């Protein structure tokens, strides 16, 4: 649409300039004019030509701005679609792991998981994939929808998330997400401390 407007404005500027030149030529042939009148007509032609050029430039600038905005919107839509596809894939993987390893969904029920290195490795993998899902949900920006699920997972897996052996993995997540997870844990602690202080 903007390209059509720009083309139309440029064409209008050319036609207007050409028309004024023809009018000036015809008028000077049919109706002889004084030098002063010819100079005024020449100035008028230049002013109108300048105005039409300025209009074409403004329309061109608007075209560029609209095109850039459309490109950004399209890019955001593609990013969102990619994020949604990735989130869905990770949710499926996490669901499969939750079925295969149901004991990890409630780590408070685990007895000495660190005593079995193979089991502990699986548990770290389970939590990593769960955090991947949470991080993608967090990145989606829809915390009204995902916020409670993220909070529940983080609080259930808090023991491992804070474990020194898991910290190298946890540090690979984006800073904004890590801060969000730490805030969830901190808020829960503060809530617990406030509850104890009331007793």
Lowest mean pLDDT among 56-60, 172-176, 185-189: 56-60
d(CA 119, CA 114): 8
Q: How far is CA 34 from CA 19, 22, 27, 37, 149, in A?
A: 21, 18, 12, 5, 86
pLDDT at residue 77 greater than cutoff 60: yes
pLDDT computed for residue 182 by the predictor: 96
The structural domains of the chain, with segments of one domain joined by +, span: 2-74, 101-198
Look up the pTM and report it: 0.57
Residues 6+ apart with CB under 8 A from 186: none
Phi-psi region of 142 (alpha: psi -120 to 50; beta: other; left: phi over 0): beta
Average pLDDT score over residue span 18-26: 66
Q: Is 53 helix (H, G, I), strand (E, B) or coil?
A: helix
pLDDT at residue 111 greater than cutoff 70: no
pLDDT at residue 199 greater than cutoff 60: no
pLDDT over 90 percentage in the chain: 20
Mean of per-residue pLDDT scores for the chain: 78
pLDDT over 70 percentage in the chain: 71
The per-residue pLDDT for range 131-186, each reduced to its tens digit, is 999 998 898 888 888 889 899 999 989 988 998 999 999 999 999 999 999 999 99
């Amino acid at each position: 649409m903007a390209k059509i407007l720009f083309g139309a404005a440029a064409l209008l500027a050319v036609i207007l300039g050409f028309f004024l030149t023809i009018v000036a030529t015809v008028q000077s042939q049919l109706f002889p004019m004084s030098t002063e009148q010819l100079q005024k007509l020449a100035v008028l032609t230049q002013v109108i030509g300048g105005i039409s050029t300025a209009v074409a430039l403004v329309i061109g600038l608007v075209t560029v701005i609209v095109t850039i905005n459309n490109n950004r919107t399209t890019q955001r839509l593609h990013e969102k679609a990619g994020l949604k596809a990735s989130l869905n894939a990770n949710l499926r993987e996490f669901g499969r792991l939750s079925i295969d390893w149901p004991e990890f969904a409630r780590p408070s029920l685990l007895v000495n998981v660190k005593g079995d290195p193979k089991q502990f490795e699986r548990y770290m993998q389970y939590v990593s994939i769960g955090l991947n899902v949470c991080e993608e949900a967090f990145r989606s920006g829809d915390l009204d929808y995902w916020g409670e699920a993220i909070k529940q997972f983080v609080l259930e897996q808090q023991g491992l998330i804070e474990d020194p052996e898991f910290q190298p993995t946890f540090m690979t997540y984006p800073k904004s997400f890590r801060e969000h997870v730490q805030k969830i844990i901190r808020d829960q602690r503060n809530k617990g401390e406030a509850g104890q202080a009331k007793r």
